[in-house]
Structure 1
Amino acid sequence: MMIQEILRRKRDGQTLDHTMLRLVMNGIADGSIGDAQIGAFAMAVYLNGMRREEAVALTEAIRDSGQVMRWDDLDLDGPVLDKHSTGGVGDLVSLVLGPWVAACGGFVPMVSGRGLGHTGGTLDKLESIPGYDVAPSDATFRRLVKEAGVAIIGQTGSLAPADKRLYAVRDVTATVESLPLIVASILGKKLACGLETLVMDVKVGSGAFMPTPQAARELAEAIVAIGCDAGTKTSVLLTDMNQPLADCAGNALEILEALRLLRGEKGESRLHDVTRALALEILIQSGIASDIADATRRLDRALDSGEALERFSRMVHGLGGPGDLAERPHHYLEAAPYETEIAADASGTLGAIDTRALGLAVVELGGGRRNAGDTIDHRVGLSRIAALGQRVERGQPLARIHARSESEASAVSERLRAAFSLSDTSSDAPPPLIHATLRREDLP
């Protein structure tokens, strides 16, 4: 069938079958379909939507547009699984969850991304570590997954290549917000890694990618339905992003925070609790643990014994980083040359945080990209960020700025101060960390 006929069908609101979608995605991947036709396809999907079976076929076609990893030949003695987040501020869960779950018997081939807009990227954080190679050979990637149980790398050109071109065109044709295209983009890349189990972390709140709780819920339900129908056991936790997940934001600062958590120093923190909830879900859904009590025992043992930290260290060293990062992190992770605090201009209880504004401040300091080719300064960011519900007196710090210079810190300080809203009352409790957990049986 000619591509024009497929585009006409979708333009007119008809359903595309698996063969048609595979023809389009393969054409995008091999370059035989031009940007104009990609844009027409994306706009037709944006305007007309997709039926569930159609969205599943699109996801599978993106997954199969390049290499689909197979693990059978490695004789792994546990399931292949992963976690993915829609992104947030101070969200370094992947850095901790991967090695923590690996220490419990899972194998985690985690293909991660860079920062997008106000949200931080796992790859940018890892590149704070001198020598860490986010683009190793397939042989190195597979060897580390087997030997360390976890390897966190960037997307290779051979994994879901149709998605890379399709996303680039969506970005310039105002079609990014299409739900079936969002889900197919997320899952196509993840499922190309040959996963048996996937747990998604969909953020809700002022720092979330999805603009409203309803939109986040719709995305979560679509991910569960389409992921499961595409052959991977998939569940979603809706987690709160009305404030940064960690009390810091910035690449090297978040690596330091991950090491603290892996040492067991950050119990009873929001970061610890969300990471633990996701890890519990993935251990139970993958069959590694029989129930919550069993999963809890395994996670406690992996953290308390130092095994989770050791897995992280093996991954870092195996991908070119220093073998003693965990023992001497400040020797390798550069600090920003200038630090200052932003102080509260009144007394009160912290009632709201514009989390997106905090993320954008990190970008402005140089810790993220305004344009695709920008170089990141891994040293900069924020630390000691005040938490919702915290009582703050006039003059007390709301956050600490790590900047390249006094002038760059001053340029963001007023916007940062305005991101914190103080109240005279303390009656409003902070929102729950976990808004909901969705599995296949929970779908309407």
Structure 2
Amino acid sequence: MANPSAYIQSSVHHVYYFRIRVPLHLQTQLQQTYIRRSLQTKCRRQAVIRCSELLQQTDVLFDCADLKVADISTIQWGYEKVDKASKAAFLLSTKEPSQTIKASSAPLLSAVLSEYFVAQRLEGVGERTIRTKLGVANLLYQIIGDVPVDKYSRAMMQTFKSTALKLPPRLNQLEGISIEDAIAQAKTTISVITFNNYVKDLSTVFTFAARAGYCERNPFDGLKVKLKVKVSSLRSRFNQDDVDTIFSTDIHTQSAKAPKDYQYWLPLLGLYTGARLNELSQLYRSDIIVVNGIDCLHIQAVNAGQRLKSPSSERLIPIHSKLKALGFLDFVSSPKEKSKLRLFPELSYHKHHGYSATPSKWFARHRALTGLSESTEKKDFHSFRHTLADDLKQQGVAESHIAGILGHSTGGITFGRYGKDYTPEALAPVIEMLGWNLPMVVKYISFL
């Protein structure tokens, strides 16, 4: 199905109309060049919803006229058998759409989303993730419309797919601009990965709706674009040259205090723990603990402003001996800093990005300063996770041990239900296998 917005017109009285050209080879048979009907609304969103219904009906009309079907009421339309004769007749009559469009008992997608996000919050899903999904849902509204959840057809999803793949990156930049203008102005388009993420987000919504009994199936099922490359190649790891470059500036090579504590420690913690940027940025001093004689980072969400991506993200990560040699434990317990609850109190909280907004922007600038941004490969702070995972994988470490460090679920029922988290004693030898050569990095002086 085409984009409903392309078939909507506004009258001088600001009432929206549906208008579609009859295919040339059917104009004689139907005795019309155009089909035009009032949508009986001045609300564009409502007009899009009604236009979507009329597009389905015109598809019926044109198919029946093209095939010259006698008993058209027996033809399958969408996912149910309907009286096609009456729907086709409507388009050639003078009846108004509100009198003939079949009502749906299912709620609008916007109403389902409200229920879905309540359930997501109860499950502990972060506001940033919810905001991302809402942005994708708004994109679906713009392309297809906010219609009853059981009325989204496979044809509509194909329209969504073909349109979305023409859009420029970054959904938040589409506010205040039409889809058509965004496509016309696009210098680059979203990647296949981004589109597949849209499909994944919307698929979870429709799966929720199907389980709630609002619709029979998920129309996004199987809509993803197949990748021609390995998933592991989509984000690059850091090699030794990259690591040397990252830690080559005055922040890490001069025997003086760095401009900000986080600028010195976060890259090092990322390299030797593989933790997510926000997990590290939100650390409290009380999260650095000793368990069974082993110094650990406790990645958790018990203090103000802390949050986890998933329940499996809570974990203990043994602190690498290199971090200790560089003075990390001294920094944590220094008299000057000990009165501060958070490890990096200079980082402010952002309602959507937690404490990672500032260090994320800083690391992007730092990467550009060192020349890494000139690489065509995708390398950012998250690459530290890929670096740790690949380094340990190449050394033959079991996937379950790497998952224990990174906070990934192992997926199997044996480990997932019956097995407990790895103890620090089990993970400490694995962490020590990270043997990065950083001779240029000097010990941090945190209490000058």
Structures share fold, TM-score greater than 0.5: no
**Structure with greater proportional helix content:** 2
Q: Relative contact order (C-alpha < 8 Å, sep 6+): which is higher?
A: 1
Q: TM-score range by the shorter chain?
A: under 0.3
**Structure with greater proportional strand content:** 1
- Greater gyration radius: 2
